[in-house]
A and B are shown apart, each in its own frame.
Chain A
């Protein structure tokens, strides 16, 4: 991938420092971390009280309440655990162009947020062109390596998300936040991949990369359209009606995918490459998708 400079500038990195990765629901990870999981457990952040029942650990009895009210109650705490972020970035040939760079910038931003909070970030390419489907990064010191990998990984291969995700899941036993950045131009396959992630109890976020250029053809032209990935050839006479039909179809596919995600509790985020990275992050922040405020 030959980008136009670094994926994220210093200014963008400083700006990202105000954000953090947000898990939508608690996920028992089995180890402590810095992030509230939302799950009541053995963390340090007070959640509420409940009545004491025999067997409770006496260390969690709130003696101050007992002294004032004479009731035995135990304090409940939100469980805190380390966040693990799985970034699945589509690098198939259909992503070539602005979509690919935008997807890598967003992945870089999310990865930076994860690593900056001493969490673990895993990066998986869809499809994986190497024997190791996932590379793992932990700690802020790995930020550069993650950025470098995102910037330099070439575009190539065909979309086969189900197979690629299957390989990823074979190496990831833990539940994590899985962010899939793709144009999802293989709907059935992509849905299968998302469903597989979901079935593993992951907090799945589908970032749909949209580039209007994909459906912008020269009006009046006669084209031999060749699919970048499959080489499939299609003879097309670009008429006004055809263009309208093409755009409608394109939007319809996106809507269909979004409806499926909602139905399966997969967070769905559109990313129009015409928009800036921060517009998308702001949208995700506003909708509580993966990104939250650090304050």
Chain B
């Protein structure tokens, strides 16, 4: 290290080197050759020759002693003057503090304080450690600014050199975000401002890992941890599905324990304000645990809340929610050619009697009068040809014979097939057994996007599909020309098809969508592909309070990209969708910010207690201690030399 790389914090201390003068004078005065008159100099010459080595040692020791003392004095003076490396000395002129206010900053550390509070104290420490101007203790040499990393960077303290202003700002509690904060954006903001400074330091106070930004050489970079607690148990996933009979929701919540030891917590499920399930969960360290509940479909839309009871360091992931839509009975309209076929009428009546469809809202209509019929959840086309304009977006069940305008293609006829095959496990053909059936009249099905569900002679005869907003289930079987097993199976197929198709209009949106997921309605929105999506905070729900709100317009239809759930809408909102035009259509769902990878456990060690000041102080202190130690060592060497001389003289 060259001398140019060193600098003194207090150059005035160099006056202390004047203390070397008395030492030097003392040495020269007492070690000078005093002139004395002697009676007979040859006698001295003779004796001096005998002890010349002794004299040389004496003079060498005295010179060495002087050098050691002067060096010790120099070391002490340099230590008092604060000699240190220039790079350590060079104080950042401007300090840009970035405080991470991510939702995880509400984690409570072992000492009981929030991470954000730790960050605030650390920031205070950095500000207090800034060098102040000579003669003005209330102004810093450089400027200090504080950027709060929230959803968007927020400048809570504009660059200032007023120490009191900075401390006043940092004396107030900081507000944590309710969602993930964009730390990178905040760092980029601070780094951008720091780049314009002549000399600056960017200090990030966060518990999260972060990549160092690209900075110019005159900007230093430092990350100080604000916490490292692992004492957290929380939800990392939630799945809500309908049961096969569409009578209930199946809820599966996944809980993970980040603590180092096994913990016991209670998982509680509320629908609305009613607690419907509670289960004690033993959570092993680091092992995800699935907790499953069946929740009956509510008569009206209600919030499903799954909470984790008990305390931990991070409560924000102790609750998740979904919007459970009601499942009303669908209405069914049968289109016939003037008279409904008895078999079809019997099936519809049976469904109404079973309570699977709403018989009061359904009915029968001739194909010619379909245009005058109102909207129904499911339309059964009972072997008639629909008019050209009669096929509107909606749900349809087509029964053979298949004629007229159809959303699919019809193939060749199928007679007396010997081999049946079904798509095993599909809910539409669930419980059917065609092994002993044969068909007298049937039609093979074809077309793009068609999903076959049952085959005869290798050709699909039962299928489902969707085309231009028309969702359909088609049965290429003629009940009247079929064998008894087929006739017995058809009512179940029709029932399944009606329920399957009826479900979608009422639950156009899933119970919840994760952040980043594409919002794609299950059915077309009446009024056109253009849609408006609005979301607001949940209605007075204590668990899901403090939501955001906003409006987004976009293409929302089954074919196009609808709308991707933004991070800002995380976890705390409901959404309503509405089509532009005279026939609004609405649906409700929830956005959940369940980032399965999210954890409050930082990827790097926790920062230490608030440092007394910038690192340069520590470096200077190390140099000071080193120099003082060297000074003491030199004095000890001097003493050792003196002791050696005395021993030699005594010998």
Taking Cβ atoms with an 8 Å cutoff, the residues of A that contact B are 94-96, 99, 183, 185, 211, 214-215, 217, 221-228, 230, 232-237, 239-242, 245-246, 248-250, 253
Which residue of A228, A236, A239, A249 contacts B39 across the interface (Cβ within 8 Å)? A228
The answer to whether B54 touches A225 (Cβ under 8 A) is no
Q: Can you list 10 A-B pairs, Cβ within 8 angstroms, ordered by A?
A: A223-B33, A225-B36, A225-B44, A226-B35, A227-B39, A228-B39, A232-B42, A234-B41, A234-B44, A253-B43
Taking Cβ atoms with an 8 Å cutoff, the residues of B that contact A are 31-48, 50-51, 54-55, 58-59, 649
Which residue of A217, A222, A227, A228 contacts B33 across the interface (Cβ within 8 Å)? A222
The answer to whether A227 touches B41 (Cβ under 8 A) is yes
* Cα of A250 to Cα of B35 in the assembled complex, Å: 21
Which residue of A95, A217, A230, A241 contacts B36 across the interface (Cβ within 8 Å)? A217
Query: How many A-B pairs fall under 8 Å by CB?
Result: 97
Give the residues in chain B near A248, CB-CB below 8 Å: 47
Give the residues in chain A near B42, CB-CB below 8 Å: 227, 232
* Cα of A249 to Cα of B47 in the assembled complex, Å: 7
Quick one: which of B35, B40, B50 has the most chain A CB within 10 A? B40
Chain B interface mostly: helix
* Cα of A54 to Cα of B43 in the assembled complex, Å: 64
Closest residue on chain A to residue B55 by CB atoms: A237
* Cα of A227 to Cα of B43 in the assembled complex, Å: 10
* Cα of A221 to Cα of B29 in the assembled complex, Å: 11
Tell me whether A245 and B41 are in contact in the complex, defined as CB-CB below 8 angstroms, given that A237-B59, A240-B649 are known contacts.
Answer: no
Tell me whether A224 and B48 are in contact in the complex, defined as CB-CB below 8 angstroms, given that A230-B41, A233-B41, A237-B59 are known contacts.
Answer: no
The answer to whether B58 touches A239 (Cβ under 8 A) is yes
Tell me whether A94 and B33 are in contact in the complex, defined as CB-CB below 8 angstroms, given that A234-B45, A237-B55, A242-B51 are known contacts.
Answer: no
Q: How far is the CB of B561 from chain A (nearest CB, A)?
A: 99
The answer to whether A223 touches B54 (Cβ under 8 A) is no
* Cα of A152 to Cα of B308 in the assembled complex, Å: 124
Q: How far is the CB of B392 from chain A (nearest CB, A)?
A: 123
Give the residues in chain B near A246, CB-CB below 8 Å: 43-44, 47
Which residue of B41, B50, B51, B649 contacts A225 across the interface (Cβ within 8 Å)? B41
Give the residues in chain A near B43, CB-CB below 8 Å: 185, 214-215, 246, 249-250, 253
Give the residues in chain B near A228, CB-CB below 8 Å: 37-39
Tell me whether A183 and B39 are in contact in the complex, defined as CB-CB below 8 angstroms, given that A234-B48, A245-B47 are known contacts.
Answer: yes
Quick one: which of B47, B54, B59 has the most chain A CB within 10 A? B47
* Cα of A234 to Cα of B132 in the assembled complex, Å: 63
Closest residue on chain A to residue B46 by CB atoms: A249
Give the residues in chain A near B54, CB-CB below 8 Å: 237, 239, 241-242
Ranked nearest first, the 8 interchain pairs of A and B with the lowest CB-CB distance are A227-B41, A237-B55, A185-B40, A224-B33, A94-B39, A245-B47, A246-B47, A232-B41
The answer to whether A242 touches B48 (Cβ under 8 A) is yes
Q: How far is the CB of B48 from chain A (nearest CB, A)?
A: 6
Q: How far is the CB of A187 from chain B (nearest CB, A)?
A: 9
* Cα of A230 to Cα of B39 in the assembled complex, Å: 10
The answer to whether A226 touches B37 (Cβ under 8 A) is yes
Which residue of A224, A227, A232, A233 contacts B34 across the interface (Cβ within 8 Å)? A224
* Cα of A224 to Cα of B32 in the assembled complex, Å: 9
* Cα of A96 to Cα of B37 in the assembled complex, Å: 11
Q: How far is the CB of B347 from chain A (nearest CB, A)?
A: 130
Q: How far is the CB of A263 from chain B (nearest CB, A)?
A: 23
Q: How far is the CB of A157 from chain B (nearest CB, A)?
A: 14
Q: How far is the CB of A238 from chain B (nearest CB, A)?
A: 9
* Cα of A224 to Cα of B38 in the assembled complex, Å: 10
Give the residues in chain B near A223, CB-CB below 8 Å: 33-36
* Cα of A94 to Cα of B51 in the assembled complex, Å: 24
Quick one: which of A96, A236, A250 has the most chain B CB within 10 A? A236
Q: How far is the CB of A94 from chain B (nearest CB, A)?
A: 4
Give the residues in chain A near B35, CB-CB below 8 Å: 223-224, 226
The answer to whether A242 touches B41 (Cβ under 8 A) is no
* Cα of A226 to Cα of B32 in the assembled complex, Å: 15
Closest residue on chain B to residue A99 by CB atoms: B39
Q: How far is the CB of B586 from chain A (nearest CB, A)?
A: 109
The answer to whether B37 touches A236 (Cβ under 8 A) is no
The answer to whether A185 touches B39 (Cβ under 8 A) is yes
Q: How far is the CB of A44 from chain B (nearest CB, A)?
A: 48
* Cα of A223 to Cα of B55 in the assembled complex, Å: 12
Give the residues in chain A near B55, CB-CB below 8 Å: 236-237, 239, 242
The answer to whether B36 touches A226 (Cβ under 8 A) is yes
Give the residues in chain B near A239, CB-CB below 8 Å: 51, 54-55, 58, 649
Give the residues in chain B near A214, CB-CB below 8 Å: 38-40, 43
Give the residues in chain A near B46, CB-CB below 8 Å: 249
* Cα of A222 to Cα of B33 in the assembled complex, Å: 5
Tell me whether A242 and B59 are in contact in the complex, defined as CB-CB below 8 angstroms, given that A225-B41, A235-B33 are known contacts.
Answer: no
The answer to whether A221 touches B34 (Cβ under 8 A) is yes
Give the residues in chain A near B36, CB-CB below 8 Å: 217, 223-226
Closest residue on chain A to residue B645 by CB atoms: A239
* Cα of A240 to Cα of B650 in the assembled complex, Å: 9
Q: How far is the CB of A69 from chain B (nearest CB, A)?
A: 66
